[in-house]
Amino acid sequence: MSTRTVSARRMPALGSGWIRTVLISIPLIALLVWTVLPILMTLSVSFKTRADVFATPQLIPPNPTLDAYQAVIERQGFRGAFVNSIVVGLGTAVLTLLVAIPAAYAFARFRFRGRHLLLLFTLLPRLIPGLGLMVPLYRLAVALGAIDKQLTLIVVFTGTILPLAVWLLAGFFQQIPRDLEEAANVDGANMFSRIRYVVLPLAVPAMITIGVLAFREAWNEFNLVLALTQSPGNRTLPYELWLMTDTTGFQDNPGQAAFAMLTLVPFIFVYLRVERYVVGGITSGAVK
């Protein structure tokens, strides 16, 4: 067989491989630009002055300054709101796991009438817009005397993320072989011991995923914070960011951009530390 014939046979394979690479790369590049470009633009604005935001629209500031970051850090209420966001976020993550784990285990292991239908209905609250919950939750909090309390925010945020948490954990628990629990049962372990020593160690990626999602839910929520808090001492970062609009209506674009970056960087750092667990928890389904 001649060299020309061999080359002719290899060309279609090489061509199809090149086309496949292009088809895969284009959406990935588009997704990367769609995700990273707004962050880069926000970072650029945070290093500018108010006058330079529109006078110098280029991405790299000609005269970068840290004035916006200094103003945000020295801003009255920022540090308190930052601490409140951490407290409410961690409280929401912990409470979500405490409630979601037994509920998801019951859906995954117990057989009862209407189990699949009830599990489907747990997702229905996620379909309700947050704005539709503001007035009912406000009236309920006032009736219970729970207005303007961090615990109220933790409970409410837990309720918003709990349906998704139960759904994800139930799917994960179903992938854990029953044989492991049956072996522990033969050794004399009760249900709580099986959950603690067999199920939960295998479910660490899923629990970290749920914790990160719950923390993010509480970290970014604004509408419910607006409805359920009254004093500055209990407000979180999104509310404080909203207050940065001047009474005249003019936007402090560098200050808001610096505020956003200061609240985004810690979350990105935490996510990068647990990213492999989050990806494993979302895509899990493999038997461990």
Q: What is the pLDDT of residues 172-210, one digit of tens each?
A: 888 888 888 878 878 777 888 888 888 888 888 888 889
Residues 129 and 24 in one domain: no
Please check whether residue 104 is in contact with residue 170, taking contact to mean a CB–CB distance below 8 angstroms.
Answer: yes
Sign of the torsion formed by the C-alpha atoms of 219, 221, 222 and 227: negative
Residues 154 and 213 in one domain: yes
Give yes or no for residue 95 having a pLDDT over 90: yes
Residues 34 and 140 in one domain: no
Picking from 42, 85, 86, 70, the residue whose alpha carbon sits closest to that of residue 256 is 42
Query: For the chain, how are helix, strand and coil distributed in percent, rounded to 5?
Result: 80, 0, 20
Residues 25 and 95 in one domain: no
Q: What pLDDT does residue 285 have?
A: 42
Token pair in block for residue 189: 């372990």
* Max mean pLDDT range (101-105, 116-120, 204-208, 264-268): 101-105
- Return all residues near 97 (Cβ < 8 A) that are at least 6 apart: 165, 207, 210, 211, 214
Residue 8 maps to a domain = yes
**How many domains in the chain?**
2
Residues 104 and 207 in one domain: yes
Please check whether residue 173 is in contact with residue 109, taking contact to mean a CB–CB distance below 8 angstroms.
Answer: yes
Residues 84 and 193 in one domain: yes
Half-sphere exposure of 171 (CA within 13 A, CB side): 15
Residues 85 and 153 in one domain: yes
Residues 141 and 49 in one domain: no
Give dist(CA 260, CA 43) in Å, integer: 9
Helix (H) or strand (E) holding 267: helix 253-283
Range of the domain at 134: 77-243
Give dist(CA 143, CA 120) in Å, integer: 31
Residues 8 and 122 in one domain: no
Residues in the chain: 288
Residue 286 maps to a domain = no
Q: What is the pLDDT of residues 198-252, one digit of tens each?
A: 888 888 888 888 998 899 889 989 989 988 998 888 889 999 888 877 554 567 8
Residues 98 and 239 in one domain: yes
Residues 112 and 223 in one domain: yes
Residue 62 maps to a domain = no
Residue 287 maps to a domain = no
CATH number assigned to the domain comprising residue 218: 1.10.3720.10
Picking from 203, 283, 42, 211, the residue whose alpha carbon sits closest to that of residue 194 is 203
Region 79-84: mean pLDDT is 91
